[in-house]
Amino acid sequence: MADDDFSDFEPSKEDRARQKAVPSSRLSRIGTFGKLVGGVAGGMAAEGARRLTSGERISTRDLILTPGNVQRLTDRLSHLRGAAMKMGQMISMDSGDFLPRELADILATLRDQANFMPARQLDKVLKEEWGNDWRKQFRWFNPRPIAAASIGQVHKAMTRDGQELAIKVQYPGVAQSIDSDVDNVMTLLKIAGFAPPELEIDKLLAAAKQQLHEEADYEREGEQMGHYREKLADTPGFVVPTLHEGLTRERILAMSFEGGVSIEKLDDETDERRDEVMTRLMTLVARELFDFGVMQTDPNFANYLFRPASGDIVVLDFGACREVDPDVSNGYRKMLQAGLTGDREKVIEATIEAGFMMPIVFERHPERVNRMVDIVIGEMREDKPFDFGDRAFVPLLRDEGMQIAQDKETWAFPPIETLFVQRKVSGTALLGARLKAQVNIRRITEDILATTEPLPAKAA
């Protein structure tokens, strides 16, 4: 390979189709959003004309959610990567049971596939971070990424002393574009009706921007990865990569390469193996919430690998780690303790006290809230494996929740910190559903509550 670039790297036909330079300047990214808006507008006009001529009812939301427009949204977010694509992933992951099926299915592709940088753009980033002679540090560096995601792509390499590494390289311009990307995506969501104007979303946007800035700081992520290695050092069945400090930069994260297959390959394993792995993952979430005081809040399935031979789970991607607010942890503790005793009134009281539900919701819709709480209590008190694959109760909760949501007087965001925790809990449950695993949630809950103490309150 040439010393000054990847000029002799010949990508496959499939790779060439996925190689797209990341728009790195503010002007080019704004231009990409402009093309998206123009394409969506054109799609709306065409669909509106079609419906008018056929005498169908027309609504703005329906016009936007046509397959063509959703595909435009997906393609453009994938091209932009960064905060734009990350928010698309979050929408799909967090709202799979509530989004229209067309939108959920197409946005799900953002979790599974991403374009990657052309070799020339990759080489430019590596030179900026490691210097022009960066290749001297490696026996080999594979220019074809082994993974590509929203903020960066991962390459396999071997150092001169024989260490096999995974090198995560951040896309150029991503960190600088976070704030404007979040604002632009939120504008699209408002147009599509997913962010009603009645809601005050300034705090949510600020929190999203803060987390994405933290995820774009690879030196910070390396520190978090080290913390998790320490916390899980004595826990069999988990593997956390080792940081390579000498090669890590703000835009490059170097770590030991840890092999494994997609966690979703557990489909090929026995029921017992799936149940056992899912039990460990749910226990890890409980430990994060009640023991560690820190949680990796991104539940993307790609953050876990599985080793069939040993049964180990490889935990990846620590950019979304954040401290768990003691009030949130202790609020969950009170709710779970009340739920285990079957005390509906105390569950509702703890839910309101923790800020998970506004008092006005219960004041205006007590019967619906009672039914929802009864469903949850009934599920969690069963001293038997909970079947994640049987989601019959989800439509019941969704229907009650949707009816409450029709009342705009009850609209309010819960505390921001609860949203991050709930995202991890819900996302892990979605993985359980994907694997059709069965886990005794009651036993996990009772054990973690019995072996931990409430987290100390933050100093004023």
Q: Which residues are catalytic?
A: 298
DSSP-derived secondary structure letter, 452: -
Q: How many CA atoms lie within 13 A of 449 on its CB side?
A: 17
Residues 6+ away with beta carbon under 8 Å from 341: none
For residue 174 the two structure tokens come to 């991503």
What sign does the CA torsion over 323, 435, 89, 144 have?
Answer: positive
Q: How far is CA 238 from the centre of its chain?
A: 20
**Cβ atoms of residues 81 and 121 within 8 Å:** no
**CA dist., res. 406 & res. 403, Å (int):** 5
Determine phi and psi for 304, rounding to 5 degrees: -130, 140
Residues 6+ away with beta carbon under 8 Å from 194: 91
3-state secondary structure of 354: coil
For residue 357 the two structure tokens come to 């539900």
**Cβ atoms of residues 148 and 114 within 8 Å:** yes
**CA dist., res. 87 & res. 157, Å (int):** 30
User: How many C-beta neighbours within 10 Å does residue 213 have?
Assistant: 14
Residues 6+ away with beta carbon under 8 Å from 54: none
User: How many C-beta neighbours within 10 Å does residue 256 have?
Assistant: 14
**Cβ atoms of residues 29 and 173 within 8 Å:** yes
Residues 6+ away with beta carbon under 8 Å from 245: 222
